Structure 1
Amino acid sequence: MKSIKNIVLATLLAVGLVAAATQVHAQGQEAAIRKNLADRLPQMGKIDEVTRTPMPGLYEIRIGMDVYYTDAEGNFVIHGQLIDAKAQRNLTEERTEKLMAIDFAALPLKDAFPIVRGNGKRKVALFEDPNCGYCKRFERDLQKVDNVTIYMFLYPILGPDSDAKSRNLWCAKDKGKAWLDYMVRDQGIAAASCDTAAVSRNVEFGRKYKITGTPTMIFTNGTRVPGAIAAADVEKLLADIKQ
C-alpha cells in the first residue's frame, strides 16, 4: 500500500513539474513575442494580450480590439482570417465578435435619454447621428417595435453640423420628443443651451469601442448590430434575449 502511495505521489509531482515547466515555457514565449515585436514593429502599439491558437506554432496577439497572428519568436505577423477548416469556423470572426461585444451594464446610460414604448420591459441602446439618412429611415421603421426602452446616445460623427444639432437636442426640455420630431416628423430643432459634456463623452466612448457608423444597436446580451435593419429583425433579436 505504501509503495502505491509513493507511486501516486511521484506521479503527481511529475505532472506538477511538467505543468510548471510548460507554464514557464509559455511565459517565456509570450515575453519573447512582446519584446521582439515592440523592437521590430513599434508602430503596432502596445500588445494587450498574447494567446496560443489551435494551430501549432501560431499565436494570437491582441492590440485593443485588433487581432493579429505571429510565430513564437515574433519574426512574422499576419493580419487576416484564421479559419478552422475541419470545424468550418472562422476563428478570427468569432474572436472579433467577442471583443466587440459591449457589456450593457457598463454603458454610461446617464449620457443617453430613454424613449419608452409600451411597458418598456425590453431594453436596447442605440447610437445615432442626427444627420444620418440611414438613421432617419431606421427610426421610422423602429416605431413598429413596442414594449421597449431605447437608450438613445447622440453620436455626432458626420461633421460640425451633426455636433451642433446633437447639442441642441441634448438640451431640449423633452429630449425624446425633440429627437422623434426631427428624425421621424421632419420638424426643426430649436436652439438650446446647457451642459453638453455628455455628447463629447459619447463620441469618446464610441471611439474606444470602435463604433464606426450609425445606427449601431447594442442589446442587453452584448450583441452589437451595426447598420439599419428591419423592425422584424430587431424584434427577433429582442425575442432571443431573456430580459
Structure 2
Amino acid sequence: MIKKIKSVLLTTLLTSLIGSSAFADEASLRKAIEATYPKVKIESITKTQFGGLYEVFIDGQILYADEKLSFLITEGRLIDPKTKRDITGARMEELTKVDFASLPLDQAIKVVKGNGSRKLVVFSDPDCPYCKRLEQNELVNITDVTVYTFLYPLEQLHPDAGNKARAIWCAPDKAAAWQDWIDNGQLPKTTSTCDTPIDKIADLGKKYNITSTPTLIFADGKRMLGAYPAKDIEKAMSGQPSNKK
C-alpha cells in the first residue's frame, strides 16, 4: 500500500495540482488528497511549527505537504535543527501507539521471566530469522518481564509459517513448544488440532498496521520493529529513549 501511495501521490498530485487553487487549511487539504486518491485512509492532518508544513498521517506513514499542496514529501525526516530532535520519529511513536490494555493477551503465549513485573508483547512469525535472533540473543538476557508472544505468520513470505504456528499453539505446553522451536527447530512430535487464535491475531495485526516481525509493543503502547539489542529493549521498557530509528 505504501508503494502505491508513493507512486500515485507523487505522480498524480505533483503533476495535476501544482499551480491549482490554494488549499488554505487542514480540511481543504484533506479534501484535496481524498479527491485525488479516494482509497487512501487519512488518519490525521496536523500543522507543524516549521515553515507552514503540514504533517499528513496516511496508512502508517507520515508525509509532509504545504497548505497549497504544491509539493509532497514522502520519505523525509523532519529534524529540529536547534535541538537535533527527530520530529518525525517522535511523532511516529505517538501516532502508532497501541492501547496495551485492550490487547487480547489470552491469545498469546505467555512466558514469565524473573518476577515478571514488566510486560512486553511480541508479534512473531515462526519462520522469521530475526524473531529467532531476538529470542536467542536478546530476550534471553532480559529478566523480570512477562513476554506475551502473538503468533503472527506472514504466509506471503513464509508459506508454512501458519502450519507451524498452529502446531505450536495446539501443543499441551505452548510456551515449551515455542521455546523448543526457537532453540532447536523442533515442532511438537505429537500433532493435534485445536481452535487457534491465529486468524484473530492476523486481524489484530491489520488493525495496528503490523507488517513485519518481530514487532515489539511496550506497556506504554510504543512499538519497536526488529531484533534490537537487549539494552535498547530495556531502555524502551523503562520509558527511556532508545537507539531505535
TM-score normalised per structure 1: 0.77
- Opposite residue 107 of structure 1, the aligned amino acid is L
Gapped regions of structure 1 (runs ≥ 5): 1-26
* % identity of equivalent residues: 43
Q: How many pairs does the alignment contain? A: 213
Residue deviations 1:32-71, cap 9 Å, x none? 21222223x2156132322211124322222232222222
Greater C-alpha radius of gyration:
1
Tell me, in whole angstroms, the C-alpha distance in 2 between the residues paired with 1:237 and 1:32. 38
Change (3 A) 1:149 1:46: closer
Give the corresponding residue for 2:179.
180
Structure with more helix by fraction:
1
Q: 1:45 aligns with which of 28, 40, 46?
A: 40
Residue deviations 1:69-113, cap 9 Å, x none? 222233432222222223322222221122223232122212212
Tell me, in whole angstroms, the C-alpha distance in 2 between the residues paired with 1:29 and 1:58. 11
Query: 1:28 deviation in Å?
Result: 6.7
Q: 2:57 aligns with which of 42, 59, 62?
A: 62
Q: 2:78 aligns with which of 72, 77, 82?
A: 82
Gapped regions of structure 2 (runs ≥ 5): 1-22, 241-245
Tell me, in whole angstroms, the C-alpha distance in 1 between the residues paired with 2:91 and 2:146. 29
Query: 1:159 deviation in Å?
Result: 2.2
Residue deviations 1:136-182, cap 9 Å, x none? 23222323332221111101113221010001111112111111111
Tell me, in whole angstroms, the C-alpha distance in 1 between the residues paired with 2:230 and 2:43. 38
Give the corresponding residue for 1:118.
114
Does structure 1 retain, via aligned residues, the 8 Å contact 2:167–2:187?
no
- Opposite residue 193 of structure 1, the aligned amino acid is T
Give the corresponding residue for 1:130.
126
Tell me, in whole angstroms, the C-alpha distance in 1 between the residues paired with 2:42 and 2:238. 38
Structure 1 residues 1-243: aligned runs within 5 Å: 29-39=25-35, 41-42=36-37, 45-79=40-74, 80-141=76-137, 142-157=139-154, 158-190=157-189, 191-196=191-196, 198-240=197-239
Query: 1:239 deviation in Å?
Result: 4.6
Change (3 A) 1:160 1:58: same
- Opposite residue 131 of structure 1, the aligned amino acid is D
SS in 1 for 2:180: helix
Question: Cα RMSD (Å) of the superposition?
Answer: 2.4
Does structure 1 retain, via aligned residues, the 8 Å contact 2:79–2:85?
yes
- Opposite residue 221 of structure 2, the aligned amino acid is G
Residue deviations 1:12-40, cap 9 Å, x none? xxxxxxxxxxxxxxx9722221222223x
TM-score normalised per structure 2: 0.76
Does structure 1 retain, via aligned residues, the 8 Å contact 2:108–2:149?
yes
